[in-house]
Chains A and B, each alone.
Chain A
């Protein structure tokens, strides 16, 4: 019987979507091990979010204090550790967001625990849980065991369907004893960046262009803007001088695993595929029906990207 603690994430009063995917992972684990599901919710003025979380069958531990208002790992980690100890959690997990990746390892160290980052699925039998995670930029799938008493992990949200609010739980108020004056970290500012495109490796959606664009990336960029997506490119496009280096997706560029990857005018050279085959859904648009990219695309459309992309844009934002 092993208890599971999932660390929720909220941002400026709203629960992050990724949390529900982590809760789903937590529910799976709790079911397997016959343990109880706990959720930790840290922040300031966040008690209102607790009720919603209980409906996922969790005992929600709310640590609400001014010192926790900002997501500072130095302040949040000891709180997570205290709740983990109080709930006798064997498993402590979160979504592999910037917050989860920043915070959980610090908490793991304080718990003297081993940790598996960006878990895609759980393996093993019953209570003997193993963790499957990508290594070598997704070229290898590793099954790992964590040998410490407490096992910490983060999950890739796209691999666990969001939990549905179909159960009942409870709320516990947790005292917070973090001394604000003793912190060595000061949160200076947070600037929301709306206009700039997301970073390729963190983007949820990527629209990429290759040779087929013949150097004209406007349709790619226009669709990306409508989708709030990042713009990627193949090595060929970069070498031809059409786009800068840092847009290159591929073995020698960036390795990405977005929810949706739209490959336009990309034939699908192995080098490029290596950089994006971890994407949840791949859409390929290419004039050449023999293009290798169609072999790995979930949805393939043989057509001219200069017609297809704007048409798709029309569907998103009908003018």
Chain B
């Protein structure tokens, strides 16, 4: 019941770097900023590796971006993925373009399952997975999580949160939604996006990092895929969020309660 899983590894700004808007509002300051793999994608890679460890198969990691994006592909290969695909594109991207490019990669790779991070921590759009599922005409399960906590035995044993059906044709996904836990069963091929509590990604061991150097990475020019590369979501202007101003001091709990309950209606 080997599974071919395609995962994404987007190169994003390291959240520990200070993100500052350029004075012209046209972008962010990139000087001195470090980059890493989108943390939600890391969770996707981890989940794919667990499925491969349990059921056999192949994990292919795709990234879309400039030359440097290959570093994140290597990071995923270092974790244990088998092959990489870099779709090279230096221009601006949006979920519309990303999903179109990924759909082309899926046409070629024909994966049984595509796992993406639910959102990337730069644009925080949370769309690419859903768009891809629609383009492929396949079912989707977003914000995949796990019933067991990240401190549980099951997690320590690296159990996958996604459960492959006995016949290998379906996958069950647990989702944390508003008010509770939902379980969906999707017919493969399907698209799943990951949420924080799905797993704790392994770190690439040093042996893994060195092995990764020999794993194949295919480079494809985005322009060669016959996709319209014009983003539909266009950044007009960036600004720092307005500084929060201090509010009022309250003298005691009575006053705080009045403010919260009567004025702000927060309680």
The answer to whether A and B touch directly, with their CB atoms under 8 angstroms apart, is yes
Are the CB atoms of A294 and B253 closer together than 8 Å? no
B167, CB-defined interface residue at 8 Å: no
> Contact mask B226-241 → A, CB, 8 Å, 1/0?
0000111111111111
**Which residues of chain A are near B237, meaning CB under 8 Å?**
142-143
| B interface residues, how many (CB within 8 angstroms) | 81
User: Smallest Cβ distance from A157 to chain B, in angstroms?
Assistant: 11
Are the CB atoms of B124 and A135 closer together than 8 Å? yes
Known: A77-B134, A308-B253. 6 other contacts (CB 8 A): A105-B134, A106-B140, A117-B127, A136-B13, A145-B234, A183-B139
Cβ 8 A contact of A298, one of B180, B234, B248, B257: B248
A166, CB-defined interface residue at 8 Å: no
List the 8 closest pairs (A to B, CB-CB), nearest first: A114-B232, A105-B130, A109-B134, A298-B247, A98-B177, A184-B139, A105-B127, A188-B183
Query: Provided the pairs A101-B126, A193-B180 are in contact, do residues A109 and B13 lie with their beta carbons within 8 angstroms?
Result: no
User: Smallest Cβ distance from A280 to chain B, in angstroms?
Assistant: 8
Give the interface residue-count category, chain A: 35 or more
- Interface locus among A29-37, A52-60, A167-175, A299-307: A299-307
- Give chain A interface residues in 279-319, CB to chain B under 8 Å: 280-283, 294-303, 308, 311-312, 315-316
**Which residue numbers of A lie inside 8 Å of B, CB to CB?**
11, 16, 72-74, 77, 97-99, 101-110, 113-118, 130, 133-148, 183-193, 199, 201-202, 205, 227, 244, 246, 251-252, 254, 259-260, 277-278, 280-283, 294-303, 308, 311-312, 315-316
User: Smallest Cβ distance from B181 to chain A, in angstroms?
Assistant: 5
Residue in chain A with minimal CB distance to B131: A109
A260-B175 Cα distance, complex, nearest whole Å: 25
Are the CB atoms of A199 and B130 closer together than 8 Å? no
Q: List 28 A-B contacts (CB under 8 A).
A: A72-B184, A74-B140, A98-B143, A109-B131, A114-B231, A137-B15, A139-B240, A140-B238, A141-B238, A141-B242, A143-B237, A184-B138, A185-B186, A186-B170, A190-B182, A191-B180, A191-B182, A193-B179, A251-B15, A254-B196, A300-B247, A301-B249, A302-B249, A303-B253, A308-B253, A311-B253, A315-B253, A315-B257
> Contact mask B117-143 → A, CB, 8 Å, 1/0?
001011111110111011100111111
B112, CB-defined interface residue at 8 Å: no
A135-B21 Cα distance, complex, nearest whole Å: 11
A184-B140 Cα distance, complex, nearest whole Å: 9
A23-B226 Cα distance, complex, nearest whole Å: 39
Are the CB atoms of A140 and B241 closer together than 8 Å? yes
Cβ 8 A contact of B235, one of A134, A144, A199: A144
- Interface locus among B3-11, B52-60, B94-102: B94-102
**Which residues of chain A are near B231, meaning CB under 8 Å?**
114, 147
B2, CB-defined interface residue at 8 Å: no
**Which residues of chain B are near A145, meaning CB under 8 Å?**
233-234, 236
